Amino acid sequence: MADQPETLKEKPTDNKPIGDHALDQILREARTYNDFSEEPVSDAMIKALYELTKWGATSANSSPARFVFITSKEAKERLAPHLTDQNRAKTMKCPLNVIIAHDMEFYEKLPKLFPHTDAKSWFEGDAAKIEETAFRNGTLQGAYLMLAARALGLDCGPMSGFDKAGVDEEFFKGTPLKSNWLCNIGYGTTKNLFPRSPRLSFDEACEIL
């Protein structure tokens, strides 16, 4: 048998814990921001954000998430009517709004994304499996987007207060895309920042078997 490529040979990883500053920025001290400065998020930063996000794991590398990055006044005006009253003003002020959606025909790209087997056939004709896989993994990729944004020095304000049907009609009509949730991204301020809410303890949320 020919030698395996170096990348396939069994060897331990060389991972090390990241520092407390990074852990604080990404998770422990990260907040859901309700107000953002007017500093724009550049196209280069948006592209860097996706390039980092895309490496997060999904089942069968299906990568069903699709991201609509909204920065222009015209695009914001299209989004505004579909937001709840409490979310509209802060979303319009935020320099970058993201529609996190998922592609209900994600399996069409599996020959490229998972080429070593016929993964496309696992989903064709199975509407329930398509829905479950697209929603679960698209949601997961949205979480990766938030972590990537925080890692790049950005702040996030995720929200679900919007009319999904309206957003789908406005942005995705005639496509296989469905909206999931929204996230405001930019450089947060302490204005309207609520005291941090508690979290469940290990014993309340976890079990070791």
Phi, psi of 40 (to 5 degrees): -75, 160
State the pLDDT at residue 171.
Answer: 98
Task: Using pLDDT thresholds of 50, 70 and 90, give the confidence band for residue 8.
Answer: low
Give the separation between CA 200 and CA 188, rounded to whole angstroms. Answer: 25
Tallying the residues shown for the chain, one arrives at 209
pLDDT over 60 at 5, yes or no: no
pLDDT tens, position by position, 43-58: 999 999 999 999 999 9
Q: What is the mean pLDDT of the chain?
A: 95
Task: Give the mean model confidence (pLDDT) for residues 112-119.
Answer: 97
What DSSP state is assigned to residue 81? G
**pLDDT tens digits along 61-99:** 999 999 999 999 999 999 999 999 999 999 999 999 999
Walk across the sheet containing 155-159 and list its strands: 65-70, 96-103, 177-186, 155-159
pLDDT for 1 equals 40
Which tens digit of pLDDT belongs to each residue from 146-204?
A: 999 999 999 999 999 999 999 999 999 999 999 999 999 999 999 989 899 999 999 99
Q: What angle do CA 18, 19, 20 make, to 5 degrees?
A: 130
Instruction: Please answer whether residues 184 and 97 qualify as being in contact, where contact means their C-beta atoms are separated by less than 8 angstroms.
Output: yes
Provide the token pair at 12. Answer: 């331990």
From CA 179, how far away is CA 166, in angstroms rounded? 10
What is the set of domains in the chain, with CATH numbers?
31-188 (3.40.109.10)
